[in-house]
Amino acid sequence: MILSSGSSSTLGTAPLVLALVAALAYAMAALSGDARARWATPALLLAGLLHAVLLALDIGGSGRVEPGARLGFGPVLSLAVWLMIAVHAIESRFVPLPAVRRVLAVAGAVVVLLAWAFPGEVRPLESPWAPLHWMLGVASYGLFGAAVLHAAMLDAAERQMRLRALPAPAPLGMPLLRLERLTFRFVEAGFVVLTLALVLGLVTTTHWRWDHKTVFSLLGWAVFAALLAGRMLRGWRGKRATRWLYAGTVLLLLGYAGSRFVFEVVLGRSAG
């Protein structure tokens, strides 16, 4: 296991300090209730900015002696959550979702510390297309993560509706049909981005391997394709649709972040 504090960097303990301040700002955003909501937005904005700086240090390699990028499971999850927070920041301008803000703020606090503690090894970029391929893959993580978050809200609202035997409620101020459409807009966008990432990886790689990352990524892609086809052709909705969404997201996570977690943390060696 390689810790950030021990990496070859000219920045000393700055990444740890930034991670702690960002985590504290995320915690303030998460704990700001309705009575202190005026603190939530500035705290989340500050945390997001510090988070972006940390991503530049960890993944982009700023201030590091050796060339390359850190692509461990910590930075991958960190970037995916940061993208989800960015999507939420845009979405909240139209529909305030304080419960989503709290969940994402807690997730942000966790991943900035995870990225510092488990950054993974520094890896050289094997192809000029590698950064784009990798960014597209992580962007699909963020979009599917946003879809999962909205799907969980949708499932919770439907459970509440069945228990109370009332007309469909408006969860968090958003009508159910609108929430459902928004959920699958994220799924569609994530599917397009994931497809581009896989195609780019296929046409630019020089050493194609049927490893765990490839297999799980393709299985995830197939599940999302089946979900969108089932929704379009057979009108899949409700739990049937969200279960397919959850299954595809788990497969996608196993394809990169999950497998790297096993290699880097459980086994304590490079994922190769």
Q: DSSP string covering 88-143, please?
A: HHHHTTTS--HHHHHHHHHHHHHHHHHHHH----EE--SSTTHHHHHHHHHHHHHH
133 in a domain, yes or no?
no
3-class secondary structure, 244: helix
- Separation between Cα atoms, residue 123 and residue 114, nearest integer Å: 19
Q: In percent, how much of the chain has pLDDT > 70? A: 75
190 in a domain, yes or no?
no
pTM exceeds 0.85: no
What is the tally of structural domains in the chain? 1
247 in a domain, yes or no?
no
10 in a domain, yes or no?
yes
- Per-residue pLDDT at 268 exceeds 80: no
Check residue 4 and give its pLDDT.
Answer: 38
Residue recorded with tokens 């700001």: 32
Beta 69-70 vs 122-123: how paired, if at all? antiparallel
Q: What is the mean pLDDT of residues 48-62?
A: 81
Check residue 13 and give its pLDDT.
Answer: 73
Question: Which string of DSSP letters, residue by residue, matches 36-81?
Answer: GHHHHHHHHHHHHHHHHHHHHHHTS-TTBSS-SEE--HHHHHHHHH
Q: Mean pLDDT, the chain, as a whole number? A: 79
5 in a domain, yes or no?
yes
Confidence bin at 15 (pLDDT 50/70/90): confident
Helix (H) or strand (E) holding 157: helix 130-164
Amino acid at 43: A
19 in a domain, yes or no?
yes
Residue range(s) defining the domain that contains residue 64: 1-124
- Per-residue pLDDT at 11 exceeds 60: no
253 in a domain, yes or no?
no
Q: What is the mean pLDDT of residues 166-171?
A: 49
25 in a domain, yes or no?
yes
Check residue 108 and give its pLDDT.
Answer: 93
Of 69-78, 136-145, 177-186, 240-249, the poorest mean pLDDT is in 69-78
Check residue 62 and give its pLDDT.
Answer: 57
Half-sphere exposure of 8 (CA within 13 A, CB side): 9
Confidence bin at 272 (pLDDT 50/70/90): low
Of 6-20, 183-197, 241-255, the poorest mean pLDDT is in 6-20
- Per-residue pLDDT at 270 exceeds 70: no
- Per-residue pLDDT at 74 exceeds 90: no
- Per-residue pLDDT at 101 exceeds 70: yes
- Per-residue pLDDT at 8 exceeds 50: no
